[in-house]
Amino acid sequence: MERLTERLPNGVIRRVEVNDENRGENVMSRLAAYEDTGMEPEEIKDFVSRWKEAAELAGLCKEAGSDRLRDLLDAEKELEAMK
């Protein structure tokens, strides 16, 4: 994503100069897209973190293969039944 702002070491936020005739429209469009999520910045960071974890887990599952996953699920069910 191309940033529209930058944070200076002293904490000041300033806009990044972009050669774009439609800058105002693009800024408003991006702000509207963010607001449409209904999420606060912290929630978005948490969502991205969880998404990365889910993608990693999906990759591990793919590597393990569906037969192995079924075996693990069956074993887990057997353990639960023993309790």
Whether residue 81 sits in one domain with residue 46: yes
DSSP 50-75: HHHHHHHHHHHHHHH-HHHHHHHHHH
The answer to whether residues 37 and 47 touch, using CB atoms and an 8 Å cutoff, is no
Whether residues 64 and 80 fall in one domain: yes
Residue 78 lies in domain: 40-83
Q: How far is residue 8 from each of residues 3, 18, 42, measured CA to CA in Å? A: 14, 17, 21
Judge if 46 and 25 occupy the same domain.
no
Model pTM score:
0.49
Q: How many independent structural domains does the chain possess?
A: 2
Same domain, 34 and 52: no
Domain match, 44 and 66 both = yes
- 13-62 pLDDT, tens digit per residue, is 988 877 767 777 878 888 899 899 999 989 999 999 999 999 988 888 88
Q: Within its chain, how far is the Cα of 70 from the centroid?
A: 28
